[in-house]
């Protein structure tokens, strides 16, 4: 098949798939004409091989917005030049999105660079990192390298954050603290309501920086969630907010993200960034993604649909699960995770790894609705075999 024919086939397949979602799965609220406009650009390419269902890394199964893909391709012809100007434009666009001055935006090579650079710039060996017991391990990974003291606060029932326990850990320490809050949390996919977080931040505990990671915020449906960017707009200077293009924008392999916060804090972090600028293709793709509202809406509706397919199956199998506000879900299993993982892999499905201390729980990332139908069929088969 020629390249042109293959592109046309991909476009037809995507439109066919879009129609199935919008019709058969009733994705309410998505404007079909806007979606068609988004998909009329470059053909989307899936990161998922047809023979393997990858629901293990919290990726967007649809791939990047077609407009973002085209922007990245166009950037290649300009890649002999440094993209300082274009990165500045992206910084301004992000600032406008959050209604902040651009001095309060730091563009990063993924949000993990923000974790590392914030620790190096704003922490020391005398700083303690205060985290919930079960959360994203990027924080403790870099804190360990820094020689920081790591304080893990046990979780409440339902793997919820113990905010009072986090407060106590900060209050009991004489030195500086960095509190790392992932919201929605990974691997649980649960939120910590804003009414529990904001009063603590506003109280400005002495020598305490709040590093808030909102990698999955775009997937949230629960109105108890509220981004801390509002506190940054209000002038609070004890917060750094991390955002990424890896999740709903489907740019995990492009490594692009940003931090929001007080200009002086971000200027210190910038000194520890790994490069003077992002990859040219990543900059242009990120900028195009921010403008492609139809495709981002489409991605969220797709994840909502996939999540409901999984929830319906978990209910039918009477398996406990946590309320998910992200593109993954955490559920209990009745068998050892390693054997469940092995059986799924043998059937062409990759699922989440272990997340101690939740040793009898499994994290499932959302694939396409079609992939989730295949996966949940396997779950039912596994139940009859005693494998789940």
**The domain spanning residue 357 has which CATH number?**
3.90.1150.10
**Given a cut of 50, is residue 2 above it in pLDDT?**
no
Name the DSSP letter for residue 274. S
Given 291, 319, 342, the domain boundary residue is 291
**Helix or strand holding residue 42 (H, E):** none
**What is the reported pTM?**
0.87
pLDDT of residue 273: 86
pLDDT band at 278 (very low <50, low <70, confident <90, very high): confident
- 26 by Cβ neighbours in 10 Å (0-12 / 13-18 / 19+) ranks as exposed
User: Which CA distances in Å does 42 have to 60, 63, 73, 253, 259?
Assistant: 18, 12, 10, 18, 30
Given 267, 291, 315, the domain boundary residue is 291
pLDDT band at 30 (very low <50, low <70, confident <90, very high): very low
**Given a cut of 70, is residue 174 above it in pLDDT?**
yes
Claim to verify: residue 200 and residue 95 sit in the same structural domain: yes
310-365 pLDDT per residue, tens: 999 999 999 999 999 999 999 999 999 999 999 999 999 999 999 999 999 999 99
pLDDT of residue 109: 87
CATH number of 90's domain: 3.40.640.10
pLDDT of residue 13: 41
The proportion of the chain whose per-residue pLDDT surpasses 70, expressed as a percent, equals 87
- 174 by Cβ neighbours in 10 Å (0-12 / 13-18 / 19+) ranks as exposed
Q: How many domains does the chain have?
A: 2
Is residue 24 one of the residues assigned to a domain? no
Claim to verify: residue 285 and residue 300 sit in the same structural domain: no
- 255's CB contacts (< 8 A; 6+ apart) are 109, 110, 246, 278, 279, 282
Is residue 47 one of the residues assigned to a domain? no
Name the DSSP letter for residue 248. T
Claim to verify: residue 136 and residue 171 sit in the same structural domain: yes
pLDDT of residue 50: 55
Mean pLDDT of all residues in 53-62: 96
**Given a cut of 60, is residue 277 above it in pLDDT?**
yes
Mean pLDDT of all residues in 202-228: 97
- Residue 362: give the domain boundaries: 53-63+294-385
Given 265, 291, 317, the domain boundary residue is 291
CA distance 331 to 310: 10
Claim to verify: residue 284 and residue 203 sit in the same structural domain: yes
CA distance 255 to 253: 6
pLDDT of residue 132: 97
**Helix or strand holding residue 17 (H, E):** helix 3-23
Mean pLDDT of all residues in 273-301: 92
Tell me the two tokens of residue 306. Answer: 């996939």
DSSP annotation string for 114-182 = HHHHHHHHH--TTPEEEEESSS-THHHHHHHHHT-EEEEEPPBGGGB--HHHHHHHHHT-SS-EEEEEE
Handedness of CA 58, 369, 283, 189 (dihedral sign): negative
**Average pLDDT value for the chain:** 88
**Given a cut of 50, is residue 160 above it in pLDDT?**
yes
C-alpha 220: how far from chain center? 11
Claim to verify: residue 298 and residue 247 sit in the same structural domain: no
**Given a cut of 80, is residue 21 above it in pLDDT?**
no
Claim to verify: residue 122 and residue 76 sit in the same structural domain: yes
Is residue 14 one of the residues assigned to a domain? no
Mean pLDDT of all residues in 142-154: 94
Claim to verify: residue 249 and residue 359 sit in the same structural domain: no
Is residue 103 one of the residues assigned to a domain? yes
Claim to verify: residue 205 and residue 306 sit in the same structural domain: no
Claim to verify: residue 172 and residue 300 sit in the same structural domain: no
pLDDT band at 9 (very low <50, low <70, confident <90, very high): very low
Is residue 339 one of the residues assigned to a domain? yes
Instruction: Check if the beta carbon of residue 260 is closer than 8 Å to that of residue 236.
Output: no
- 105's CB contacts (< 8 A; 6+ apart) are 91, 94, 95, 98, 258, 259, 260, 266
pLDDT of residue 100: 97
Claim to verify: residue 270 and residue 302 sit in the same structural domain: no
Claim to verify: residue 374 and residue 273 sit in the same structural domain: no
Is residue 330 one of the residues assigned to a domain? yes
Claim to verify: residue 117 and residue 206 sit in the same structural domain: yes
Tell me the two tokens of residue 31. Answer: 């404007």
Per DSSP, the three-state class of 266 is: helix
Is residue 271 one of the residues assigned to a domain? yes
Mean pLDDT of all residues in 251-264: 94
pLDDT of residue 110: 82
Mean pLDDT of all residues in 83-92: 95
Instruction: Check if the beta carbon of residue 194 is closer than 8 Å to that of residue 165.
Output: no
CB atoms within 10 A of CB 1: 8
DSSP annotation string for 195-230 = HHHHHHHHT--TTEEEEEE-TTGGG---TT---THH
């Amino acid at each position: 098949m020629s390249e042109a024919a293959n592109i046309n086939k991909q476009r037809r397949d995507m439109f066919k798939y879009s129609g199935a979602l919008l019709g058969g799965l009733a994705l309410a609220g998505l404007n079909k004409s806007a979606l068609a406009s988004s998909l009329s650009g470059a053909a989307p390419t899936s990161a998922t091989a047809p023979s393997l269902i990858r629901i293990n890394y919290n990726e967007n199964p649809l791939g990047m917005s077609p407009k973002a893909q085209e922007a990245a391709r166009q950037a290649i012809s300009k890649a002999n030049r440094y993209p300082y100007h274009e990165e500045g434009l992206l910084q301004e666009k992000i600032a406008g999105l959050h209604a902040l001055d651009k001095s309060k935006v730091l563009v990063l090579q993924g949000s993990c660079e923000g974790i590392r650079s914030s620790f190096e710039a704003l922490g020391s060996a005398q700083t303690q990192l205060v985290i919930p017991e079960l959360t994203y391990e990027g924080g403790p990974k870099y804190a360990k390298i820094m020689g920081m003291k790591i304080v893990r606060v046990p979780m409440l029932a339902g793997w919820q954050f113990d905010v009072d326990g986090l407060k106590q850990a900060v209050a009991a320490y004489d030195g500086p603290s960095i509190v790392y809050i992932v919201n929605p949390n990974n691997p649980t996919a649960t939120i910590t309501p804003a009414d529990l977080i904001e009063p603590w931040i506003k109280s400005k505990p002495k020598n305490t920086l709040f590093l808030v990671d909102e990698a999955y915020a775009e997937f949230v449906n629960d109105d108890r969630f509220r981004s801390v960017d509002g506190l940054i707009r209000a002038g609070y200077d004890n917060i750094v907010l991390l955002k990424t293009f890896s999740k709903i924008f489907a740019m995990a392999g492009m490594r692009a993200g940003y931090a929001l916060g007080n200009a002086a804090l971000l200027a210190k972090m910038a000194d520890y960034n790994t490069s003077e600028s992002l990859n040219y293709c990543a900059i242009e793709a990120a900028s195009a993604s921010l403008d492609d509202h139809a495709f981002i809406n489409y991605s969220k509706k797709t994840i909502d649909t996939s999540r409901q397919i999984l929830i319906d199956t978990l209910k039918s199998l009477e398996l406990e699960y946590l309320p998910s506000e992200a593109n993954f879900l955490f559920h209990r299993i009745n068998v050892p995770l390693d054997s469940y993982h092995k059986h799924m892999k043998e059937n062409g499905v990759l699922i989440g790894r272990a997340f101690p201390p939740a040793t009898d729980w499994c994290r499932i990332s959302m694939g396409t609705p079609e992939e989730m139908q295949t996966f949940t069929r396997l779950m039912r088969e596994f139940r009859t075999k005693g494998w789940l």
